[in-house]
Amino acid sequence: MLKVGLTGGIGAGKSEVSGLLARYGAVVIDADRIAREVVEPRTPGLTAVVEAFGPSVLKPDGSLDRPALGSVVFSDPAALARLNAIVHPLVAARSAELERAAGAGAVVVHDVPLLTENGLAPLYDLVVVVDAHPDTQLDRLVRLRGMTESDARARMAAQATREERLAVAGLVIDNDGPLEKLEPQVREVWSRLTARAAEG
């Protein structure tokens, strides 16, 4: 089994790369998706979040109000650290369970947005960073995701810098351009990952 960490700043296009790798045959373990699952209604994770941040982070139906929680944590490093202390151990446990189920010869790609921020690079055989210029990230967040520029900048500022991410990279995928330029790069990365997995 080859354990790969996949990361990139918000708006860099990591989800696109993750989707392509899954199509080629990678077992993708998506930390964001798992992070949503562990705070679904009636989970211990959601109970802990409400205890930490109060009932104002809940919607009327009892589910997590992500924008309300986001407005609290993304401008307050201590609040963000408190949230991470609740969610990260739950995500790690579920990710380990999925990895064990993948099988010996698999290429397991852990899609982890905050890999660099949380010092997780040593957990993987290799880290792949999806890189884009901060101006490109900002444009995508505003144009494609409908964020305000100030919200987009705050989200970007809450993450590691581009330099910090590149410092832990074993392989870098440049996603400053259009989708047509992305796919050949991802295919090349996939061939390198499968070759490395075959070496054992």
List pLDDT tens digits, range 3-24: 999 999 999 999 999 999 999 9
SS3 for 63-127, per residue?
CECHHHHHHHHCCCHHHHHHHHHHHHHHHHHHHHHHHHCCCCCCEEEEECCCCCCCCCHHHCCEE
Same domain for 78 and 116: no
Q: Which of 73, 103, 133 is the last residue of a domain?
A: 103
What's the mean pLDDT in 26-49?
Answer: 95
Q: Is 160 left (phi over 0), alpha (psi -120 to 50) or beta?
A: beta
Q: Integer distance in angstroms from the first to the last C-alpha of the chain?
A: 7
Same domain for 155 and 133: yes
pLDDT tops 80 at residue 36? yes
- What is the predicted pLDDT for the residue at 114? 87
Same domain for 97 and 111: no
Number of Cβ within 10 Å of residue 112's Cβ equals 25
Same domain for 39 and 20: no
Would you place residue 134 in the very low, low, confident or very high pLDDT band (cuts 50, 70, 90)? very high
* CATH classification at residue 17: 3.40.50.300
Would you place residue 123 in the very low, low, confident or very high pLDDT band (cuts 50, 70, 90)? very high
What's the mean pLDDT in 188-193?
Answer: 96
What's the mean pLDDT in 129-134?
Answer: 96
- What is the predicted pLDDT for the residue at 104? 85
Question: Percent of the chain beyond pLDDT 90?
Answer: 86
Same domain for 187 and 129: yes
Domain encompassing residue 184:
1-26+106-200
Same domain for 181 and 84: no
Same domain for 15 and 37: no
pLDDT tops 90 at residue 45? yes
Same domain for 130 and 68: no
Q: Which of 103, 121, 153 is the last residue of a domain?
A: 103
**Count of domains for the chain:** 2
Same domain for 154 and 135: yes
What's the mean pLDDT in 105-112?
Answer: 94
- pTM for the predicted model, two decimal places: 0.81
Same domain for 142 and 85: no
Average pLDDT of every residue of the chain: 93
pLDDT tops 80 at residue 200? no
Would you place residue 136 in the very low, low, confident or very high pLDDT band (cuts 50, 70, 90)? very high
**Per-residue pLDDT reduced to its tens digit, 161-186:** 999 999 999 999 999 988 889 999 99
Same domain for 150 and 122: yes
Q: Which of 68, 103, 138 is the last residue of a domain?
A: 103
pLDDT tops 90 at residue 109? yes
Torsion of CA 43, 28, 137, 53, to 10 degrees: 10
Same domain for 134 and 90: no
